[in-house]
Amino acid sequence: MLRVLCLLRPWRPLRARGCASDSAAGGSEIQVRALAGPDQGITEILMNRPRARNALGNVFVSELLETLAQLREDRQVRVLLFRSGVKGVFCAGADLKEREQMSEAEVGVFVQRLRGLMNDIAAFPAPTIAAMDGFALGGGLELALACDLRVAASSAIMGLIETTRGLLPGAGGTQRLPRCLGVALAKELIFTGRRLSGTEAHALGLVNHAVAQNEEGDAAYHRARALAQEILPQAPIAVRLGKVAIDRGMEVDIASGMAIEGMCYAQNIPTRDRLEGMAAFREKRPPTFVGE
């Protein structure tokens, strides 16, 4: 696969106040990087908690929530890509060692926070892509399901395995998996706690693309970035409104969905990008969209 060269800005760490960290360098468990050059508009979130295999602990969740809150207001973010800095794993799910120390009340509050995190990912205004280069289990798969698009290494392993731990998916898995795969298949996978390879997940439609893993262990990331590069040239307001129309429309009857589509289209009519698209078509040249 041809890889487009890009300029890389340094990773920007984000530390949750007053919390210990499990990252490789003892710093932030979540880092952010905005790509530059031809990839300007792609922002990457790097999950980097190696000792816990990116398990969803308190610090990790706090940092990710804070990161999303900051990026949500940044109109320069056209595509948000989730990747792992831990080789062989995307996210191993909930931090059960940490959860063992919680009271029942604390568990309930934390799971509610976790569900809120996944909702924040799902509601992020720009398209989101999960690059799954390794294990994505339980909450890790729920995080990927909250993204708009998923790319996996063919050797990656994923599944909602909560029933094998005496639990059930509590961060959106029981709702997003049926909407992705259909009710019967989602029930089968959740009831059995079955694990799927990236290849199997692609055959079922759980991931958009499955690619052979490379020696560096980041093949899914490179395919996800190539997918993001396909989105970049398109009109950003139209893309964001298209996301709203799809997401909101899927939750209602088709007549209501048509009304939602109409409202989104009406918001797009006065944009400069729409006029630019028409002018570019007329002048037989590529459009230059500015997000206005």
User: Could you say which of 16, 92, 94, 224 is catalytic?
Assistant: 94
The dihedral sign for the CA sequence 245, 202, 116, 83: negative
Structure confidence by residue, pLDDT tens digits, 114-135: 999 999 999 999 999 999 999 9
Whole-number pLDDT of residue 257: 97
- Catalytic one among 57, 139, 140, 173? 139
Burial of 285 (0-12, 13-18, 19+ CB in 10 A): exposed
- The residue-averaged pLDDT of 167-186 equals 96
Sheet order of strands, 196-197 included: 89-91, 135-137, 157-159, 196-197
pLDDT over 70, % of the chain: 91
Q: Is residue 288 part of a domain?
A: no
Q: Considering its fold, how many domains does the chain have in total?
A: 2
In this structure, the number of other CB atoms found within 10 A of the CB of residue 277 comes to: 17
Tell me how crowded residue 74 is: count the other CB atoms within 10 A of its CB. Answer: 13
Residue 42 inside a domain? The answer is yes
3-state secondary structure of 56: strand
> Average pLDDT in the 195-215 region?
97
Domain around 253: 236-283
pLDDT score recorded for residue 96 = 77
Which of 51-55, 96-100, 195-199 is most confident?
195-199
Query: At residue 1, does pLDDT exceed 70?
Result: no
Q: What is the pLDDT of residue 18?
A: 34
Average pLDDT, the chain: 90
- Specify whether 142 is catalytic: yes
Record the pTM: 0.90
Is position 63 annotated as part of the catalytic site?
no
Instruction: Report pLDDT digits (tens) over 15-48.
Output: 433 334 555 445 789 999 999 999 999 999 999 9
The answer to whether residue 209 sits within a structural domain is yes
Do 145 and 266 lie in a common domain?
no
Rounded average pLDDT over 252-280: 95
**What is the maximum alpha-carbon separation in the chain?**
66
Annotated catalytic residue, options 93, 142, 201, 238: 142
Please report the pLDDT score of residue 100 as a whole number.
78
Residue 291 lies in a domain: no
- Of the residues 232, 256, 273, which one is the last residue of a structural domain? 232
User: For the domain that residue 72 is a member of, what is the CATH number?
Assistant: 3.90.226.10
pLDDT of amino acid 20: 41
Q: Do 36 and 164 fall into the same domain?
A: yes
Q: Is 139 a catalytic residue?
A: yes
pLDDT value at residue 107: 85
Instruction: Indicate which residue of 162, 170, 200, 224 is catalytic.
Output: 162
Q: What is the pLDDT of residues 44-92, one digit of tens each?
A: 999 999 988 999 999 999 999 999 999 999 999 999 999 999 999 999 9
**Is residue 200, in this structure, part of any structural domain at all?**
yes
Per the annotation, the verdict on 94 as an active-site residue is yes
pLDDT of residue 217: 92
Tabulate helix, strand, coil % of the chain (nearest 5). Answer: 45, 15, 35
Angle at 79 between CA 77 and CA 84, to 5 degrees: 110
205 CB burial (10 A radius; 0-12, 13-18, 19+) = exposed
pLDDT of residue 26: 53
